[in-house]
Structure 1
């Protein structure tokens, strides 16, 4: 039977649509997994915003500028932003205010070298309660909620100073000592460790111990007084950041040929060792602080566990070994480019 022409046209159109949709469905089903999608389905990984870390020193000093340069180099490949602060002098109130400001800025982590670990502990705890992990370096705040401490054991470092002195003087001689702050725990521990070794293991006599309270001018004056009072001394020991530079000036001015042991690597000490103005330096392996600070803060920011103490140890650097320490001048030139 023949259908009317209008009905035939409608039937043909319907069949054509069915065939078209069926074919499209077959094509889609057979090639979808091989065809890249412009609009991916399902949850996609979100690119993480760069982290911002606060670095807080106990005082503004070229030694910490060196640490900052190395830390910036360690942070650069990770696109981490650093906010660096330091009081103009050893002042716990200033350090507390600076740390509170970092908490208000909602940084992703804070690395601090406490002026006073006990006094800073409540502020460290407040930062942690606010979700900001805190690590200590160089000096510790063990009774706080900090995640880890990066640095040396200062008692053991002081003992190492005594051992180096013992080796240079063959167990006997007369020594002058300069330190920074008499009540700063780390510096007091170094002094105690050195004196303990000298008094129990050697016949070395400590003629004088003076404290410059963070002043290079005072360190210079102290050295003049000690040398004038004890001109036959055999060695000078510097246990702080300020007296090495002063000893270099005095040795140049007086043409002295006496052993000098410094504590803590600084940018001008390498040249002084090569020039014979400083015999050796007890390094806290400060070059490790930078990488440990950044990696520890990254781990803490991602809530990964950290050991209670990351011991960077100590090293004795002499004319033969001092060049193993990073060239800070090279880092400065790289930053200026």
Structure 2
């Protein structure tokens, strides 16, 4: 399935007017080298269209999925995309990337800010220059940004807690792994989770760690917590990076405890179907790309947009599976159930 998605992504990049100026991982750099000449030609042919920038906090497979969705939507409107991200989460690099997009006078920018406070001045600078800016995944509420696309992160944290409470029958000891400590959305998510667990349950939170967007650090954090608390009942991963790290640990150690992760992706779906994950809390990331393009297009035309575009929260687990997934995994005898929360 991943190979098929890679081929489709390459075809989209060849056919659609898209500029990629990112410091992506090695395999993404190889794709960029393969399409460099075609991209230049496409940009020259699309001078009547608009150019939007997308800035991620770091490079990660989930963001590649969002880029695919944004690319498909952009192609329908003759929009050129400039997609960029630091190799690792870095506020200063995000600021430099955004400053460069402002100098290039793009028609709109979507950014998931690593540090909302630090990014607020440059977001306001873009807005003052007539470039609409929207945030996604994590908001910068004190800035002059035009809109936020994504789910309510505090409610997402509460949903993690409610799912955890149900799976543990309202008792037990848990370990928590989170991403960037300075990221507004991730702090909201943790706050929602902790508030519910402490006020509504008998569950004990043993430790909380931040991996700062680094998968190796996430694995180290979780292995250390497991060693320190061998009788834990569940690990909760509140960020995208934790899901791949935790499933690798579950495979290596053969753990039978509960593991709850964030984000609907091939990694999380495989984790559910293979029994490593007990549940996945998704913010419906698959629609972010299209929502971002649609919102920027309206804003760049001077039209009003909703300030909060809520993509909702979905819980995935192993009870009922779609026909296509059942065909792919019928030997597993496991099922996927979907619950939507508004």
Range of TM-score over shorter length: 0.7 to 0.9
Q: Which residue of 2 aligns with 1:209?
A: 208
Residue 322 of structure 1: CA displacement?
7.2
The unaligned stretches of length 5 or more in structure 1 are 1-46, 327-337
Q: Tell me: CA distance 1:62–1:48, structure 2 relative to 1, closer, same or farther (3 Å).
A: closer
Q: Tell me: CA distance 1:131–1:323, structure 2 relative to 1, closer, same or farther (3 Å).
A: farther
Secondary structure, in 3 states, of the residue corresponding to 2:76?
helix
Q: How many angstroms apart in 2 are the aligned matches of 1:76 and 1:323? A: 29
Deviations 1:60-81 (A, max 9, x none): 1112111111111222222211
Deviations 1:107-162 (A, max 9, x none): 11111111122221221222122221111111112222211111111111111110
Q: Tell me: CA distance 1:323–1:118, structure 2 relative to 1, closer, same or farther (3 Å).
A: farther
Q: Which residue of 1 aligns with 2:58?
A: 59
Q: Does 1:298 align with 2:297?
A: yes
Secondary structure, in 3 states, of the residue corresponding to 1:277?
coil
Secondary structure, in 3 states, of the residue corresponding to 1:248?
helix
Q: How many angstroms apart in 1 are the aligned matches of 2:272 and 2:203? A: 23
CA contact (8 A) 2:152 2:312 kept: yes
Residue 261 of structure 1: CA displacement?
0.5
Secondary structure, in 3 states, of the residue corresponding to 2:231?
coil
CA contact (8 A) 1:92 1:116 kept: yes
Q: Which residue of 1 aligns with 2:242?
A: 243
Q: How many angstroms apart in 2 are the aligned matches of 1:293 and 1:156? A: 21
Q: How many angstroms apart in 2 are the aligned matches of 1:123 and 1:113? A: 13
CA contact (8 A) 1:121 1:141 kept: yes
* Structure showing greater Rg: 1
Q: Which residue of 1 aligns with 2:316?
A: 317
Secondary structure, in 3 states, of the residue corresponding to 2:70?
helix
Q: Which residue of 2 aligns with 1:222?
A: 221
CA contact (8 A) 1:270 1:323 kept: no
The unaligned stretches of length 5 or more in structure 2 are 1-45, 326-342
Q: Tell me: CA distance 1:144–1:242, structure 2 relative to 1, closer, same or farther (3 Å).
A: same
* C-alpha RMSD of the superposition: 2.1
Q: Which residue of 2 aligns with 1:198?
A: 197
Alignment of 1:1-337 (within 5 A): 49-320=48-319
Instruction: Report the TM-score when normalising by structure 1.
Output: 0.79
Q: How many angstroms apart in 1 are the aligned matches of 2:58 and 2:320? A: 29
Q: Tell me: CA distance 1:83–1:324, structure 2 relative to 1, closer, same or farther (3 Å).
A: farther
Deviations 1:13-66 (A, max 9, x none): xxxxxxxxxxxxxxxxxxxxxxxxxxxxxxxxxx99111111111111112111
Q: Tell me: CA distance 1:322–1:127, structure 2 relative to 1, closer, same or farther (3 Å).
A: farther
Report how many aligned residue pairs link the two structures. 280
Instruction: Report the TM-score when normalising by structure 2.
Output: 0.77
Q: Tell me: CA distance 1:89–1:324, structure 2 relative to 1, closer, same or farther (3 Å).
A: farther
Q: How many angstroms apart in 1 are the aligned matches of 2:183 and 2:47? A: 40
Q: How many angstroms apart in 2 are the aligned matches of 1:292 and 1:53? A: 13
Q: How many angstroms apart in 2 are the aligned matches of 1:95 and 1:322? A: 39
CA contact (8 A) 1:121 1:143 kept: yes
Q: How many angstroms apart in 2 are the aligned matches of 1:171 and 1:325? A: 34
Q: Tell me: CA distance 1:325–1:297, structure 2 relative to 1, closer, same or farther (3 Å).
A: farther
Secondary structure, in 3 states, of the residue corresponding to 1:183?
coil
Deviations 1:74-98 (A, max 9, x none): 2222221100011122222111110
**More displaced stretch, 145-154 vs 162-171:** 145-154
Secondary structure, in 3 states, of the residue corresponding to 2:318?
coil
